Amino acid sequence: MAESPHTITKQKSNVKGILKHGNEPSPHPEIKWDEMNILETFHPANKDYGHMKIDEPPTPYSHEIVDDEEITNSGISSSELTSKLIATGSRIDYISGEDSGEDEDENLTLEAKHKKDEFKQHRRNHYNEFQNVRKARELIEKELAEIEKEEDENKNMDVSN
């Protein structure tokens, strides 16, 4: 005779729920650490943990050498100052490079000059494109406003007739 599953569970009286805790001692004892063994294994005195000591000579750096004479004679005569200014003035003209561009144009062939001028024109157009788009939008808005006014006037004339 086959027993139903309900009768089997009734026969087992000592079934406990999963979440219920009994008064029985736990089967696992507490973990005890062997501190001395850990120190000997992982922290030996002669182990360097991959930290490498690099012995390098100090970086060569020449500190500013100040002579005592320069400190005492801090004044410059006017003739020395003017000569230094004249010498630096000629270098500034050379550095600015304003005149050097014209000299380059003289050495170019006609075809190269034409390409250079064409490039300059394309560059101007490119940098002015944003302003051109803004102007085009304004013109379109004005035209649309005029068209709307004309349509409103036409509607008003049709209504009055």
How many degrees, rounded to 5, is the angle at CA 47 between CA 44 and CA 52?
Answer: 155
**Has residue 32 been placed in a domain?**
no
**Has residue 56 been placed in a domain?**
no
**Has residue 65 been placed in a domain?**
no
**Has residue 17 been placed in a domain?**
no
pLDDT category at 13 given cuts 50, 70, 90 is low
**Has residue 138 been placed in a domain?**
yes
Residue 140 has pLDDT above 80, yes or no: yes
> Number of structural domains, the chain?
1
**Has residue 133 been placed in a domain?**
yes
User: In terms of residue numbers, what domain contains 137?
Assistant: 129-160
Residue 39 has pLDDT above 90, yes or no: no
The residue type found at 157 is M
Residue 57 has pLDDT above 70, yes or no: yes
**For residue range 115-136, what is the model confidence (pLDDT) as tens digits?**
999 999 999 888 888 888 999 9
Averaged pLDDT for residues 65-76? 63
The average confidence (pLDDT) of the chain is 76
**Has residue 156 been placed in a domain?**
yes
pLDDT category at 75 given cuts 50, 70, 90 is confident
**Has residue 105 been placed in a domain?**
no
